[in-house]
Every structure is written in structure tokens, then in C-alpha cells.
Structure 1
Amino acid sequence: MSKPVAGRKVGEREALAVATTVRGSPQKLNLVAGLIRGKKAGEAVNALTFSSKAMAVDVRKCLQSAIANAENNHNLDIDRLWVKEASVGKSITMKRFATRARGRSTRIVKPFAKLRIVVQERDINEEAGA
């Protein structure tokens, strides 16, 4: 027997995109994710396009993936999408070493982070209230 099909991880009228290995610390990624939380999808893409942070490129790719998922998989109107959630978590950490003076070595930690973006379609009357 096979396993039953898993249900949707987000509600109706919502779409999800996940970036599992974004190179950089979760703390720095959270600063960039804070730029788009609660904004309309188009405004969020513009904010990330013109951001000076290097991680904004990866966040923009994930956001555009969520918008594409909403349009193609869930038939949502992209003009009424807004960023409901942009959560960040820790992923793997690569450990390397660098040689130092007098035969010693130092550990170098190269962190990765996870990013989860949920976009939701709002009604016209909800947008007027927001």
C-alpha cells in the first residue's frame, strides 16, 4: 500500500515557495525578508530588485517562484497577491579550516539558511481596508 497524498501546506487562495539553501546567515537573510513582509507582490519585487543587499537576489527568485506557483498551479490573480509570510530558518553549515601561524588552524563556518514565502490573494474590499 502506498502512503496517502499529503494535503496542501497552505490555505486555499495561497501559494508557497521554499528556498532550502540560501548561502549566508539566517540573521542577514531575515533582514532582507523583513523588507517584503506584508507588501503587495509587485511592490516587494521592486524593493528586492533595487536593494543593495546581496541576498536580495535569492529572495527575489523565491518570491517570483511563489508568484508563478500562484498563477500557474492555483489560478490566482497576480495583481491581487500580497506577501503573507516570509519566514527564515537555519539550514546546513559547512565547516572548513584555515591554516594559521605556528602550525595552528582556525575553523571557518559557512552557514546556509532556508526561506519560506507564502503569497495570498486578497479580495478587493480587503485591500481597501488595508
Structure 2
Amino acid sequence: MAQLIRSKLRNYRSSAQKIRELVSLLKGKSVEKALDNLLYNERKGAHMLKKLVESCIANAENNLGLDVDELIVSNVVVDEGATLKRFRARAKGRGTRILKRTCHVMVELMNTEDQ
């Protein structure tokens, strides 16, 4: 039976759409390759995803005693979080809504030895 290791990040201040663009750098890759891809990516969310994968690796090592070299990123889920609504003053006494979006991210690692 495959053992899944999960880490979650909630209410990250970026839209889910922007983070989903980075998910293809992770899915199905070994954790070393995934971390390298994120390290040299200049997108804002890449640093956060890198820290989340590192947290998941630490969970696997410390809580379950798994070998890091045998871990792959099996799944990454990015969901929309709460949206903060703000208003900006516009011409002729009107106001426009500004949406400050957040997202929830979950990373799952799987041990390749179990397959």
C-alpha cells in the first residue's frame, strides 16, 4: 500500500490561477527535481511552493522515517480561498470593487518503494 505524506498551506495571498501555473513543475517528479525546478523559477508562488515541499519532506523524514531519495510528488491541489473585498474610489462618486484573492495548497508525496 502506497504511503502518502501531506502538507497544507491555507490562505496564501495569491490567486489560485497563478499558483496552478507552477503545478506542472512538480507533479510526477522526484522531490529533488521538483525543488530544483522551483529554486530557479522567478514566479512569486515558487518560493512558497518550495517551502511547502520541504515541509512535506521533513514530515516524511521525521514522522515516518522515510528515505528522501525515494519520494515523488504524487499530487498538488490548489483551491480558492476566501476573497477580501475592498473598494477604490473612482470618478463621479463611484466606487470599484477590488478583489484580493487567496488560495489553499496541498502537496502530497508518495514513496516509490511502495509501488
Instruction: Pick the TM interval, shorter chain.
Output: over 0.9
Deviations along 1:35-79, one digit per CA (max 9) or x if unpaired, are 111000011011001002111111111111111101111111111
Deviations along 1:67-124, one digit per CA (max 9) or x if unpaired, are 1101111111111110001111111100001011111110000100111000011129
TM-score (norm 2): 0.93
The residue aligned with 2:18 is 28
The residue aligned with 1:53 is 43
2:5 to 4, 15, 20: 15
- The question of whether the paired residues in 2 share the 8 Å contact of 1:37 and 1:85 is answered with yes
Structure 1 residues without counterparts, runs of 5 or longer:
1-10
The residue aligned with 1:100 is 90
> 2:69 & 2:32 partners in 1: Cα distance?
8
- The question of whether the paired residues in 2 share the 8 Å contact of 1:13 and 1:74 is answered with no
Counterpart secondary structure, 1:73:
helix
1:111 to 90, 95, 101: 101
> 2:68 & 2:90 partners in 1: Cα distance?
53
- The question of whether the paired residues in 2 share the 8 Å contact of 1:34 and 1:86 is answered with no
Q: Which has the higher contact order (CA 8 A, sep 6+)?
A: 2
State how many pairs are aligned: 115
TM-score (norm 1): 0.83
1:78 and 2:68 correspond: yes
1:42 and 2:35 correspond: no
Which has more radius of gyration? Answer: 1
Counterpart secondary structure, 1:17:
strand
Matching residue's letter, 2:69: D
Between structures 1 and 2, the one with greater helix share:
2
How high is the sequence identity, in percent, across the aligned residues? 32
> 2:39 & 2:102 partners in 1: Cα distance?
22
For the aligned residue pairs, the C-alpha RMSD in angstroms reads: 1.5
